[in-house]
A and B are shown apart, each in its own frame.
Chain A
Amino acid sequence: MATDPALAAFLALDDDTVAAYADDRAAALGLALPPETRAGTLENLALLRRQAATFAMDLDAAAPIEAFEP
Chain B
Amino acid sequence: MSPPGSALDFRSAQAVAADIREGRTTAREEAEAALARARTDPFNAYTALVAQRALAQAEAIDADLAADRPVGPLAGVPFAVKNLFDIEGVTTIAGSKIRRDAAPAAHDATAVQRLTAAGAVLVGALNMDEFAYGFVTENAHDGPTRNPHDLTRIAGGSSGGSAAAVAGGLVPLTLGSDTNGSIRVPASLCGVFGLKPTLGRLSRQGAFPFVESLDHVGPFARSVADLALAYDLMQGPDPLDPLCRRPAEPAAPRLQAIADGPLRVGVLGGWFAQGAFPEVLEALEIVADALQARRGVELPGAEQARAAAFCLTPVEAAHLHLPDLKARPLDYDPAVRDRLLAGALAPEAVAEAARRYRPVFRDAACRVFEDFDVLLAPASVCPAPGIGQATMEMDRQPVSVRRNLGAYTQPISYIGLPVVAAPVNRPGKPPIGVQIVAPAWREEVALAAALRLERAGVVAAHRPPPVPLGEVRA
Contact = CB atoms under 8 A, between A and B. Distances in A.
A65 B352 contact: yes
Given A10-B346, A61-B349, A70 B330 contact: no
A41 B340 CA distance: 8
A44 B347 contact: no
Interface in A29-57: 29-34, 36-37, 40-45, 47-49, 51-52, 54-56
Given A48-B350, A68-B355, A29 B311 contact: no
B350 A52 contact: yes
Contacts of A22: 345
B353 interface: yes
B199 interface: yes
Interface string A1-25: 0101011011000000000011001
Interface residues of A, number: 41
Contacts of A60: 356
Contacts of B303: 54
B73 to A, nearest CB: 28
Contact of B338 (A30, A44, A56): A44
Nearest to B366: A70
B198 interface: yes
A52 B348 contact: no
B157 interface: no
A37 B213 contact: no
Contacts of B341: 31, 33, 37, 40-41, 44
Contacts of B315: 48
Contact of A59 (B342, B344, B357): B357
Given A4-B347, A70-B440, 6 more contacts: A10-B346, A33-B341, A36-B330, A48-B346, A59-B353, A59-B357
